[in-house]
Structure formats: structure tokens, C-alpha cells
Chains A and B, each alone.
Chain A
Amino acid sequence: MTAVEDPTSTASAPEKLVGQARLRKEDARLITGDTTWTDNMTLPGMLHLSVLRSPVAHARITHLDVSGALDSPNVLAVFTGRDFAEEQGSLPCAWPVTPDMVNPGHPSIAVEEVNHVGEAVAIIVGRTKVAAQDAVEKIDVDYEPLPVVLDMEEAVKDGSPLVHDHTSSNTSYHFVFDAGDAGTGGDTEQAFADAEVTVSRRFVQQRLIPAFMEPRSVVVQPSGDNYTMWSATQIPHILRVMAAMVTGIPEHKLRVIAPDVGGGFGGKLQVNPEEILCLLVARRLGKPVKWTETRSESLMTAHHGRDQVQFIDIAADREGNVKGLRVRLLADMGAYLRLITPGVPALGAFMFPGIYKIPAYRFECDGVFTNKVPTDAYRGAGRPEATFAIERIMDELAVELGMDPLELRRKNWINAEEFPFTTVAGLQYDSGDYGKATDQALQLLGYDELRAEQQRRRESNDPVQLGIWFSTFTEMCGLAPSRVLGSLAFGAGGWEQASIRMLPTGKVEVVTGSTPHGQGHETAWSQIVADELGVPFEDVEVLHGDTAISSRGLDTYGSRSLVVGGTAVVKAAEKVVAKARRIAAHLLEASEDDLEFTGGKFSVKGTPGAGVGIQEVALAIFAAHDYPEGIEPTIDAEATFDPVNFSFPHGTHISAMEVDTETGFVKIRKYASVDDVGTIVNPMIVEGQMHGGLAQGISQALYEEAIYDADGNLTTGTFVDYLLPSAADLPHFDTGNTVHPATSNPMGAKGVGEAGCIASTPAVVNAALDAVRHLGVSDIRMPLTPERVWRAIHGGGDGGDRATAGTNAYGGASTETSSGVSTEASSLGGDK
């Protein structure tokens, strides 16, 4: 890693732990599995659930006979939607983006109708997982097929069949942000009417699957009228509130624990049907229950991400000054609205202007129902889609103007001296220097040499062409100022909570409301606390994820943990020091004002040798034999931090891509990125986040796509067909940083969890296009499969639709068991 610190930054003074690449405390147990994942839980008398899932995308259930399963050995009970119809309520949607948004309601288990393949139809309760699984095949169901709605552009047309027949259309909401109306910009229609040049494009954000490493798993233990739920979730706190509201179990009778959780990427930012069903079954039977999904269940039924059709228009003058931007989105909600399904595309509304000074802007988005699994948060959530669209259209505008795309960007981006800058979307960007990051990235890549090679390959008509291109991006992180969330009709705030407990031996317990699922909170929080309190790194233990221990919190998503949760830790530590100072003054018989606190020790100015450590103060106040009158005998403290603004990481990513024009195979030759994530607490964690994010963003560009056939079967139902890259498929990453501290929190951290995932996708696609644009290619649909690239080169267009049949490898892994029933309409192809 090439970290270039801004000379004005003093964040990494040598004696401080903040800024050091400390190895992660949690890694030994996470990597070796020497910990309790939810599926490891075994409770006395625990029963196991399996779920019969719909093999059809849209149908009425006309007959459901569970007697065969009930007669199966070691099966204790079978429940259907009818059994829970009165008590299951609706899964919550916490983000009604418009007042008239249509929410059809989301049963955890289908009662009369199924609306996507994989929807729960019956639950089998067995003494063992095997017993429960064996009985799945013994349930008899008849389905009366209903028309299947899959294509958003068809679904919004008049006369389209409806996903929910009690609604008047397949449109859930129409969300508009107009800068002219908001007072943050000019009249967009006028800007386009006056423009010398306009460019319009349609981009497709394919459907993606979060594909976290640890499958979802839930255990519920009833105890009288109390319930404890363990779940592989990102959001134990939100889950507790929501599960209480859905099931009617009083919130104070429900404890939710997220033990160590193996990744989420937004995919575990959810209140899952199975979490509710486990509660309902445990309440009904009074026994502990467990449900753990298979990988196929996960791909088929855990929420998906992205899935937008983007119509984007840009207006400019001949000199390349951008005059206006217009965005119209169709966003696939899937069959139901889950926790923040409608909000994901709406959040993107504020990011389409990117890093540019655009005088006029209008955004419209239709949320559309289809007979697919719901979409929801996935790493970046709204921002990757926006960044992709603006970075792609800027290139298209450059081509139209005959202008160097980097020059076009320089001409329109916000200059370093213009920060803080309020954008046309009304956001106030905090800090940064886009030019500096770009220059540094060009250097890291070895840009000039690669351009020369590109020229040589073009001239020699090499079958392997080279392309080099950029993504200059920013994003909003640190979710979020609670008032802003309120103005967007989000159902919760955006604050975060921390408390610090000073134990008698001087050890420190830090309780955080921001629940990690692999990010390294325990290490970063320890570094922060070690610096703030002057205690050893090893003396700090970070507690999280249990609502009985960490009673207040809003969990981990949106690159918020360090920015908001870490700041709450800093604030709590400041309070601990302030409390300890009074006691130290008392013990040292000095005035508080005469004390200085460094390296964990209070000392009296001008009196060498007179001092007391904060860890000694902890013991003294535990004994409480001698402390000042009028205060409580504790130095423990807690803090809640509600940011006043988002933070805005930015960066420049440059990708060099080789395109084999004979086969269409696309390969990353070199990749360089320079990101500004503000102050860096742990450079190793930052680099790890960048690498993972890059892999995931590149994967959207090149590999991943959830594909449904014409019957609504997910044909990418296993990892044979839902393609993820491994280390073998990815290049070395040359990463660097600039540091412009955020202004919205005292640490200056901006957030790094999503940056790589947001920036890399357009960089890769733009670079691939740069390799073949001279062959007449102006767009290729993601993912850039070799076939699409080959078709775009040799047949024109964007590469078109892929065949929907799964591969025949593995003996045809996607069949009824993994993905549903096929009819002639599925056009499965192959030889199955």
C-alpha cells in the first residue's frame, strides 16, 4: 500500500495507536472458527426447522396437505400460512419514501398466494435437521398459476398483469427530487431546452446477490414469556424493535443477540421472514428452535440488490460545461417491500451529480413490483448505481464533444478550494481534492506507458486490445444525521451509542451499538480507546451485538460504524476522562485545573512525580472509600452521537483492461486507486476494505448477475451459475490514499466500507469500452461476459440478453430443488 499522508494531517502521530496497522484482535477466532456462529448453537431440546418453498413465481395455493410430512419420522409439527395468518402481521418496511407509497404487505409465510419462487409455504419442525428436511418432499401442494410479472419496463405499462391484484398498478411509488423545486438548482427542463449538446443513455444495473459467506441462521429460545433470539444479522437492535412490533412480543421481553457474524454486505440488514417464523414457532411450541439456510436457499430467498433501469440525460455547452442532468429510474422492488427496499434507489437520488458542479438536476424514480425476491440494501445501496450512471454518461458526453474525458471531468468537478461545497442535490460536501487524488492515481498506474501500449496494439491490430479508464467518485457515508433521515421519511434515526465501563483492575469494557459482522470494530475501537484513555490496547475489550449488553444502537451499514459509532466511543471516553479528573484531583489534593492528562496519567502541572493513572482511579472509585462529595462513585460513561452531516469519501480509480476481441474475454491488466476516506484509524483495515470492495465492484462489472427465466425461476441458484471471482481472477491492486479529514466528526473519519465497491464498477466498464470503442462499441451490458463483449464487437449493440438456462455442468445444478419448476416458456435450452 502506498499511503501518502496529507502534510496538514496530524492524525498519525507516532506514539498514537490511531494510524497504526494493528493486527486485528478478532481475526484468530473468526478465521479459525473458534467462536460461536449462530448455527453452532445447541440448546437442550432444540428443534429444527425446514421450509417448503414455492416452486412457482406467482400462483394461488388451491390445495395444501401436510399430513405426509406430519407422519414422517421425528417430525413434531408442520405449520402453514393459515396457521399463522392471524399473528404473523407483515414484515416491516421502514422507509415509505413517498406519502402515497403502496405497500402490499409482506407475510412471512404465504397464506393464499405466492409471489416469488422460494417464498415460504410450509414449515416443518423436526427433532433433527435431517428429519425436518426429509419431510419437505412429503407435503402436497397444488398451485393455480397466475400471470408472472418479471420485466419492469413491461410491468409499468397499462394493462400489465399485476403482482398484487389488490393494487391498481405494479408501481409502488413515484419519487421525485427536483433541484429547481428544492431551491438547490435551476430549472432542469430549461437547462435542456437551452443546451447546445445533450446525450441520453439507458443503462442497466443488473440484479445482484449479496452472497455473504455465512448463511443466515436463527435460533430462538423461549423462557416463559421471554424470548432470546440469536441471529446472523447486521442489525440486532433494529431487529428487536421490528420483531417486537410484528409479533406483539413486548420489546422488553425480547432479547436479540448477533454473535460473530460472517459477512453481510447489506444482505443481513433485514428483518427476515424466517426470523419472524422462528419466533412464532417457538412461541407456539414453547421449545427452542433453529433454522439455518442452505446456500441454495440463501441465493434464492435472501434479498437481492441493485436491479435498476436507468434513463439518464446530460446537457452541456460545446466547451464541455455541464448544464443539467436528468435521471429517470425504474427500480425493481421484487414481490414485496422489505426493510428499506424503496429507500435504496431513492438514496441514490442525492448522488447522481457525483463530484460535479451541475446547475440543474431532476431525479425521478418508480419503484416497481415484479414476481422476484425483494431487493434491498447491498454494499453501496443507491450510490454505486448513481456513480455508475454519472461516470458512464460523462464519458459518453466527452465522446460526443470530442473532448478528453479527463479534461471534461476537470472542467466540471468541484475544486479543492471550493469545499465545503453544496451540490445541486442539496448535500454539503465536506472536504477533498479530486485533482490530487487523480494525479496520484495516474502515477500509481503508470498511465503514460499503458497509453503508449494501447496505441501500439491499435496500430498493429492486435487481437488483444487495451483500454484504460477512470472513475472519479464521491459517496455519502456516515449514515446519518437523524433529522435528515426524518426529512426523507426513514423510520429511524442515525445516531450511535457507546459506553465505557472502567473495571476495578483497570481493564476497559467498551460497549458499542454498532454491531460488526467482520469489519474489525474490536481492533479499531481498541485503538481509539487506548489513545483516548492512555491504556494498553490489550486492556480494552469491545462488547457488541447483544441487546441485553448493548441496549442502544443502530448497528452497522452505510459505512457508518467508525464515523458515527467510533465518534460515540470518543465522546464516551472524553466523559470518562472528565469524571476521572475530578477524582484524580481529589486523590492528588490538587485543583482540577492544575491537572494534565497524558499517557493515561493525571499529573499536577509543575509538580513532577505527583500523579495517578486512570486505571488506578478506576480501582479507587470501585472501592469508593475516598472520593469527592456530591458525585456518583463511578467514572463509567456513555455517549450518543448524532452527526450533523454525512461524510463524503472520494477517490479516483483507474483500470487498465485487456479485451480479447476474438473471444470477448476481458481481463484486468492493472488497477490503481487513490481514495480519500478522511483520517485513517487502521491502514490495514482500510486497505482490506478497499480490496474487498474492489473485488465486489469489479464482480458486478464482470461476473455477477441473478438471472430469472421466463417462468420466474432463479437459474443462478448455485455458485456454479452465480459467478463470483476468486483471488485467482483478480489483479494486484495498487492502492493509495489522500487524507482530507471529514468535518462532521472529531476524528475526521469519512468511512471506507463501500468506497471500493462504488468506484470500481464504472472504472472497469469504462476501461473495457475504451479498449473497443474504436471498433464501434459504445455500451456493453453488465456483467461484461465474454459472450456479450464478443457480440457487442461483432454484432453491435450492448451485447444483449443472456440465455437464461443454467449451465449443464454439475449435472445441471439448477433444477426444481434449487430453483423451481420449468415450463416450455422457460426455454431452458441445454440437454437436461
Chain B
Amino acid sequence: MIPAAFAYARPTTVDEALQAIAGGGEDVKVLAGGQSLIPVMRLRLAAPETVVDLTRVRELRGVREEGDVLVIGAMTTHSDVLADPLLAQYGQLVVQATETVADRQVRHRGTFGGALAHADPAGDLPAVALALDAEFVLVGPSGRRTVPAAEFFVDYLTTALEEGELLVEIRVPKLAEAAGWGVRYEKFTRVAQAWSIVAVAAAVRREGGRIAEARIGLTNMGATPLRAAATEAALVGADLSLEAVTAAAAMAADGTSPSSDLNAQADYRQHLAQVLTKRALSAAAGL
């Protein structure tokens, strides 16, 4: 279909982008890769007054390291993520999840920051960011602030981004294999190239034959990505065994109230969360 008419700005710097957003009128949408925004505009579910296109803002693209942290520019495309050597070494959970995002064409345009700012609970990257306790760097008219992932995802398609603010970079901790980290993104869909029905992002740190730490993010188990907190707690200090993992995974859906749709009713989603958590943990822990 054809989108409603809109004004269009294509800044080349973050400052210009902020100005364009500030001057764009009542309803401004920021266009990153456009893989979610353009379809909803074509369906006329969104009819923004102004679209601010960030694709020419080069400073927002790329990955760098700052000590124990990887800093991922918001406009880094999914294919950039997949090709990045730093992420290959320290960001396997991000890489694995990104590999499952849609298809090659979408991954060439879609961006890491765009997917997070869109905050689609069925999208793959929010749960990964949450599991990693990523930090979101936001820039707005009143300056720069950092929001932890736990506070960034507020509700369905809603984030802590205030009006006029822009997500510029995402900081994720390095998870090195040498430090005992193993990761797995376990995604469940009916066909390839689809959104997750449920998915589980797991990172497990092993130490002396036991599980020292586990971080588990759940995709599409509620209006926002969630942590499987009960499972995480049960795994601290647990045996590195299938039995321990299975027992902990049984709590993966505790406290969740997922939606029912034509792919899955809530109880089946909760069941899937348990099965997928068991599988993700087993793979991450090398069992």
C-alpha cells in the first residue's frame, strides 16, 4: 500500500538529527533501517508528520571496544554485526540472535539500534540486550544519558526514549569464552525468516565444574522482553548437569503472562519457554 504523505529529513550528524526531530512537528518518526517502520507506514498504521532518516549519520555506525565493554553504534546494520570481528570474539549472543533476524535483505538494511528502539517483543534483539544488561546511550536536547536495559523496555513498542531523544549507542559487556562464558540464542518459529513465537537468549559462565552465573532473556513472553529470574537464581552455583539445568528451566516461565495469538496460546508459550530455556542453557553450558 501507499503511505500517507510525510515530510522527510536526512541529516548527516547526530546534532542535525536532533534538530530535525525537534523541528519536525507533532509526530516525528526516526527511520533507521526502515524494516519495521516502512511496513507499518505502508499499512497506514503509522502516519508520521516527519520522517528523520538516519542512514547518512555515519558516526552512529560501527563497533568499538572500551575496556570490558563493546560499544555498538545504533545504526550498525545486522549484516555489519555479523561481519564484525569484535562481536565475533566477545558478542556471540548478539551474533547468534542477529543471524536469526529475518532474511539477508532485511539484515542488510535493518539496524541493531533500530530493532531495539522499536522494542517489538517478538523481535530477537531486545531479549539479548536485556540478558546482557546492556546500557542504552540516549542523546536529546537536554544532553546525554545512559539507561540500563532493565529500564529501557517500558511496554509494548514503548521504551524509555523521551520525545526528541535519539538512541545513539548500546554498550554490552564482553563475554569471553576464556572467562568461561558460553551462549546460545534458541529461537522457535514455524518457518524460517519469521518473528519468534518464543525465543530464549542464554549466557552461562562456568567455573570449576559448576555454573557461576546465568543470564536468560525471554523473547515474546510479554509486552517487553523479560529475564527468567527464578531460573537464573536457581542456577547460581548449580552442578553443570542436564538435571540441574532441566530443573531450573522448569521455572523459566514463572511470573510471565504472554499473549495468545494464532501461533501460540499463553500456556503453550509458557511451555515453550521452559523447553527452549532447557535447550539454550544446555547448549550454552556445553552439555
Which residues of A are interface residues toward B (Cβ below 8 A)? 129-130, 133-134, 137, 294, 296, 662-663, 665, 702-703, 705, 707, 715-716, 718, 720-721, 723-726, 728-729, 785-787, 790-791, 802-813, 815, 817-818, 829-832
Contacts and interface: CB of A to CB of B under 8 A. Distances in A.
B58 interface: no
B192 A808 contact: no
Given A663-B188, A703-B191, A296 B1 contact: yes
Contact of B263 (A130, A785, A811): A785
Given A130-B2, A787-B268, A809 B120 contact: yes
13 contacts: A663-B188, A665-B188, A726-B192, A786-B190, A786-B264, A787-B264, A787-B265, A806-B261, A807-B195, A811-B157, A830-B261, A831-B156, A832-B156
Contacts of B130: none
Interface of B: 1-2, 4-5, 36, 39-40, 43-46, 118, 120-123, 155-157, 188, 190-195, 197, 220, 222-223, 259-265, 268, 271-272, 275-276
A791 B269 CA distance: 12
A405 B193 CA distance: 37
Nearest to A784: B190
A787 B263 contact: yes
B262 A804 contact: yes
Contact of A809 (B2, B5, B195, B265): B195
Contacts of A818: 43
Nearest to A724: B191
B122 to A, nearest CB: 4
Given A129-B2, A294-B1, A665-B188, A810 B195 contact: yes
A720 B195 contact: yes
Contacts of B263: 785, 787, 802, 807
B241 to A, nearest CB: 18
Nearest to A725: B191
Contacts of B1: 133, 294, 296
Contacts of A806: 261-262
Nearest to B191: A729
A707 B190 CA distance: 16
Given A294-B1, A811-B157, A721 B43 contact: no
Contacts of B188: 663, 665, 786
Given A786-B188, A806-B261, A806-B262, 19 more contacts: A718-B43, A785-B263, A786-B264, A787-B264, A790-B268, A802-B262, A803-B261, A804-B262, A805-B259, A808-B220, A808-B259, A808-B261, A809-B195, A810-B36, A811-B46, A811-B120, A813-B43, A830-B260, A831-B259
- Which of B40, B260, B261, B268 has most A Cβ within 10 Å? B261
A725 B157 CA distance: 27
Given A662-B275, A726-B192, A728-B192, A803 B5 contact: no
B265 to A, nearest CB: 5
A728 B118 CA distance: 27
Q: Is the interface of B mostly helix, strand, loop or mixed?
A: loop
- Which of A815, A829, A831 has most B Cβ within 10 Å? A831
Nearest to A803: B260
A831 B223 contact: yes
Contacts of B120: 808-811
Nearest to B46: A811
A705 B272 CA distance: 22
A723 B43 contact: no
Contacts of A829: 259-261
Contacts of A729: 191-192
Contacts of B190: 702-703, 723, 785-786
Given A133-B2, A723-B190, A810 B39 contact: yes
Contacts of B193: 726, 728
Contacts of A665: 188
Please provide the 8 A-B residue pairs with the shortest distance between their CB atoms, ordered closest to farther: A809-B195, A728-B192, A830-B259, A829-B260, A809-B122, A803-B260, A831-B156, A294-B1
A729 B4 CA distance: 35
Nearest to B271: A790
Nearest to A705: B262
A394 B199 CA distance: 39
Contacts of A787: 263-265, 268
A707 B261 CA distance: 11
Contacts of A716: 262
- Which of A134, A702, A786 has most B Cβ within 10 Å? A786
A811 B43 CA distance: 11
A48 to B, nearest CB: 11
A718 B39 CA distance: 11
A715 B262 contact: yes
A817 B43 contact: yes
B15 to A, nearest CB: 29
B262 A803 contact: yes
Contacts of A718: 43
Given A665-B188, A703-B191, A723-B191, A808 B4 contact: no
A803 B36 CA distance: 24
Contacts of A662: 275
A831 B121 contact: yes
A309 to B, nearest CB: 20
A729 B265 CA distance: 23
Contacts of A803: 260-262, 264-265
Contact of B40 (A791, A805, A811): A811
A732 to B, nearest CB: 16
Contacts of B44: 137, 817
A729 to B, nearest CB: 5
Nearest to A295: B1
A356 B25 CA distance: 72
Contacts of A702: 190
Contacts of B276: 663
A431 B252 CA distance: 59
B191 A721 contact: no
A296 B2 CA distance: 12
Contacts of B195: 720, 807, 809-810
Contacts of B43: 296, 718, 813, 815, 817-818
Contacts of B275: 662-663
Contacts of B4: 134
Contacts of A721: 262
B106 to A, nearest CB: 12
Nearest to A294: B1
A383 to B, nearest CB: 26
A812 B156 CA distance: 10
A84 to B, nearest CB: 25
A735 to B, nearest CB: 23
A785 B191 CA distance: 11
A791 B2 CA distance: 41
A810 B40 contact: yes
A817 B261 contact: no
A134 B156 contact: no
Contacts of A808: 120-122, 156, 220, 259, 261
A211 to B, nearest CB: 14
Contacts of B118: 811
A454 to B, nearest CB: 23
A117 to B, nearest CB: 16
A809 B260 CA distance: 12
A787 B197 CA distance: 11
A718 B272 CA distance: 25
- Which of B43, B44, B46 has most A Cβ within 10 Å? B43
A181 B271 CA distance: 54
A702 B190 CA distance: 9
Contacts of A725: 191
A622 B212 CA distance: 92
Contacts of A832: 156
B271 to A, nearest CB: 7
B259 A726 contact: no
A829 B1 CA distance: 26
Contacts of B261: 803, 805-808, 829-830
B262 A707 contact: yes
Nearest to A709: B262
